């Protein structure tokens, strides 16, 4: 293993992973790349909630951090979740990091080598790690797992709020959009083609909104930023990000295609759906999954079921246990409807999503437009049906439908859904969408292959870390 460079040992990398599925997976992919392709020693610090499985990564050192959190569902999406997570993990992390730095110094002196450094790479939700690294004078690199297009949106919200143009809920604030009558469908001029209704943080107070923005946009920038995206896909947002932070920004996505890793799923994957898909006609199946965090009302879920049933298309529907409010799993569905649905498809608790999307039988992905799901669908050239909930999902949905034109928005109403499913899977419009999805797939494949933008960016990242 090439441990040395220029008479120095390679820096030890300490990666801080977040306990959310959509954040943990890219971090583990990044760690795997930096270890197996660039030969760095890796320590992964993580919360006790949703830990990675050390047996899948025998070459990494794992560092559990006491978080005093019981389950994601207690806090998901809330400012309190982030604050508690960061406040609780920080003290122990600081102690560990001091130990790691001292151990690294000892090894360097016993090897008669020049001192090597420790580099901290942290998920942006684990912002405590950036401040601990700063306190200890260590370089820190932030990993962002949302779309780049989300950044200009959250960055401008304080200004929109000051001008009375940000739609908020809360005692002292009202949606004060003087410039239009049906405010929410108007385009935000600075964020074209986003509409006011595509802005995140609906349903929480402005105080919480501004607090969340403060947490996820660090006041002191890290030494560099890694973004799980592609240069060609989000170039204008990336220009804004580079202007704002004025530090190197490496676009290294889609990380799941850079290097394979064992499954990082927190839930057990039901692989029976792959055997079932093997028996379906090409491009006939709609795959429905709303990610790892979204909570859905019973009424909406029942409408989703009717839409899937009435479309007459085969389907795989992931209903995550506890994701329908008030129910453990699918008890909200009338028995007759379940029986009818089972003749044409599968309802599962958690799917091997990347394999499902790569399957020849899948013709459309009905998604909440989480960024990982969006990238995974793009890489397989699968057009999307978009049902966003929060955060970057509404921004991604608008890009999918209006910029990249490989998705359609789903209106969850009786009689509407089946039409959208058929539009994507069996209409001329769907065929055109599919063609565009395949064009984007080709560009993504070029970016991750030798000499492509994401591969080059990873190479530059390795050189950058070595220069620290
Ligand atoms: N996922 C999965 N099986 C499922 C549903 C989701 O493996 O049945 C994975 C999916 O492949 C993706 C992640 O969960 O990598 C969800 O991340 P995303 O950013 O799309 O959404 P989030 O869960 O953060 O809202």
Query: What's the chain's average pLDDT?
Result: 91
Pocket of ligand 1 (CB under 6 A): 20-22, 25, 265, 289, 291-293, 318, 350-351, 353-354, 370-373, 376
- pLDDT, residue 213, reads 92
Rounded CA separation 357/378 (Å): 9
For domain 272-426, give its CATH number from 3.40.50.2300, 3.90.1150.200, 3.40.640.10, 3.40.50.2000. Answer: 3.40.50.2000
Centre of ligand 1 from the C-alpha of residue 270, in Å: 14
Centre of ligand 1 from the C-alpha of residue 373, in Å: 6
DSSP secondary structure of 229-273: S-TTTSHHHHHHHHHHH-S-EEE---HHHHS--S---SS---THH
Give the start-end residues of each E strand in 302-375: 315-318, 345-348, 362-367
Confidence (pTM) = 0.94
ipTM rounded to 2 decimals: 1.00
Mutate to test the pocket of ligand 1, among 291, 321, 374 (most ligand atoms within 8 A of CB): 291
| Minimum-distance ligand 1 atom for the alpha carbon of 294 | 25
Rounded CA separation 174/165 (Å): 10
Judge whether residue 1 has pLDDT over 50. Answer: no
Angle at alpha carbon of residue 209, lines to 204 and 212, rounded to 5°:
125
pLDDT tens figures, 199-217: 998 778 888 899 989 988 8
| Minimum-distance ligand 1 atom for the alpha carbon of 370 | 20
pLDDT tens figures, 103-136: 988 776 666 555 578 999 999 999 999 999 999 9
Chain mean position to CA 463: 26
pLDDT tens figures, 141-150: 999 999 999 9
Neighbours of 174 (CB within 10 A): 11
- pLDDT, residue 112, reads 55
Query: Which protein residue has the closest C-alpha to ligand 1 atom 2?
Result: 353
> Band of the pLDDT at 171, cuts 50, 70, 90?
very low
% of the chain with per-residue pLDDT over 90 = 81
Give, as one character, the DSSP assignment of residue 155: H
| Minimum-distance ligand 1 atom for the alpha carbon of 265 | 7
pLDDT tens figures, 40-80: 999 999 999 999 999 999 999 999 999 888 654 455 556 88
Centre of ligand 1 from the C-alpha of residue 29, in Å: 14
What residues does each domain of the chain span?
9-149+208-262+450-467, 152-207, 272-426
Centre of ligand 1 from the C-alpha of residue 109, in Å: 45
- Fold agreement between 9-149+208-262+450-467 and 272-426: yes
Of 113, 68, 70, 114, the C-alpha closest to 91 is 68
Which top CATH class is 9-149+208-262+450-467? alpha beta
């Amino acid at each position: 293993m090439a441990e040395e460079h220029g008479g120095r040992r390679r820096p030890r990398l300490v990666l801080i992973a977040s306990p959310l599925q959509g954040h943990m997976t890219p971090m583990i992919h990044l760690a795997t790349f930096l270890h197996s392709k660039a030969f760095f020693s890796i320590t992964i610090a993580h919360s006790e909630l949703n830990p990675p499985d050390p047996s899948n990564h025998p070459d990494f050192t794992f560092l559990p951090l006491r978080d005093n959190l019981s389950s994601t569902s207690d806090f998901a999406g809330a400012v309190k979740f982030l604050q508690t997570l960061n406040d609780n993990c920080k003290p122990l992390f600081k102690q560990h990091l001091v130990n790691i730095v001292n151990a690294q110094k000892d090894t360097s002196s016993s090897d008669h080598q020049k001192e090597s450094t420790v580099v901290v790479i942290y998920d942006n939700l684990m912002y405590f790690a950036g401040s601990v690294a700063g306190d200890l004078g260590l370089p820190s690199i932030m990993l962002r797992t949302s779309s780049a297009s989300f950044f200009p949106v959250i960055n401008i919200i304080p200004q929109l709020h000051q001008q009375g143009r940000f739609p908020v809920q809360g005692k002292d604030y009202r949606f004060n959009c003087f410039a239009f009558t049906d405010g929410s469908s108007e385009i935000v001029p600075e964020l074209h083609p986003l509409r006011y209704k595509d802005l995140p943080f609906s349903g929480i107070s402005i105080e919480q909104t501004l607090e969340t923005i403060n947490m996820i946009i660090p006041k002191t920038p890290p030494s560099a930023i890694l973004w799980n995206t592609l240069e060609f896909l989000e170039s204008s947002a990336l220009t804004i990000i580079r202007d704002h932070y004025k530090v190197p920004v490496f676009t290294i996505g889609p990380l799941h295609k850079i290097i394979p890793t064992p499954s990082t799923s927190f839930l057990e994957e039901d692989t029976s759906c792959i055997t079932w898909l093997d028996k379906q006609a090409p491009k006939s199946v709609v795959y429905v999954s709303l990610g790892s965090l979204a909570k859905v009302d019973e009424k909406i879920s029942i409408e989703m079921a009717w839409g899937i049933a009435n479309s007459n298309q085969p389907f795989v529907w992931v209903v995550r246990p506890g994701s329908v409010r008030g129910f453990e799993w699918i008890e909200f569905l009338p028995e007759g409807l379940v029986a009818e649905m089972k003749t044409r498809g599968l309802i599962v608790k958690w799917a091997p999503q990347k394999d499902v999307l790569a399957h020849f039988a899948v013709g459309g992905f009905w998604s909440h437009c989480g960024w990982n799901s969006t990238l995974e669908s793009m890489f397989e050239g699968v057009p999307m049906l978009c049902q966003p909930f929060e955060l970057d999902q509404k921004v991604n949905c608008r890009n999918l439908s209006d910029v990249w034109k490989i998705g359609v928005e789903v209106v969850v109403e009786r009689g509407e859904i089946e039409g959208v499913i058929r539009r994507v899977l069996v209409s001329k419009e769907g065929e055109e969408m599919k063609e565009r999805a395949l064009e984007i797939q080709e560009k993504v494949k070029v970016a991750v292959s030798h000499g492509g933008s994401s591969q080059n960016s990873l190479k530059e990242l390795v050189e950058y870390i070595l220069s620290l």
